[in-house]
């Protein structure tokens, strides 16, 4: 069963709002934002912070401008929507 588009957009918006303000600007999602969403749905213990960072690095690519010198990566809201909608990235 597929999630309604409205629900997916709410997830993305919440992740964006809760992303690290140091790393991100409006419309950008960090690992902290994704962790917040996972905690809200009771799945916070399913993935570690490092696992989320690894997924973000795989999405944006190692040499991307979307990663800082500490290998903290961010994705766009559109990339997050694609990810939770099972669309190819």
Residue 53 · residue 71 · CB < 8 Å: yes
pLDDT in tens, 61-89: 765 677 776 767 889 899 999 888 877 65
Q: Is the pTM of this model over 0.85?
A: no
Residue 74 · residue 24 · CB < 8 Å: yes
Look at residue 29 and give its three-state secondary structure.
strand
**Cα–Cα distance measured from residue 66 to residue 75, given in angstroms and rounded to the nearest whole number:** 7
* Residue of 50, 11, 48 whose CA lies nearest to 33: 11
Alpha-carbon radius of gyration of the chain: 12
Average pLDDT, the chain: 84
Residue with the bigger pLDDT between 67 and 13: it is 13
Q: According to the model, what pLDDT value does residue 71 have?
A: 67
Residue with the bigger pLDDT between 46 and 20: it is 46
**Cα–Cα distance measured from residue 11 to residue 22, given in angstroms and rounded to the nearest whole number:** 21
pLDDT in tens, 31-57: 999 999 999 999 999 999 999 998 998
């Amino acid at each position: 069963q597929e999630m309604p588009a409205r629900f997916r957009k709410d997830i993305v918006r919440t992740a964006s709002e809760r992303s690290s303000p140091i790393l991100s600007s409006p419309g950008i999602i960090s690992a902290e934002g994704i962790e917040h969403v996972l905690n809200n749905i009771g799945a916070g213990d399913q993935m570690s912070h490092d696992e989320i960072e690894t997924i973000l690095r795989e999405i944006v690519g190692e040499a991307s401008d979307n990663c800082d010198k500490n290998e903290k990566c961010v994705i766009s809201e559109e990339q997050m929507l694609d990810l939770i909608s099972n669309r190819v990235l």
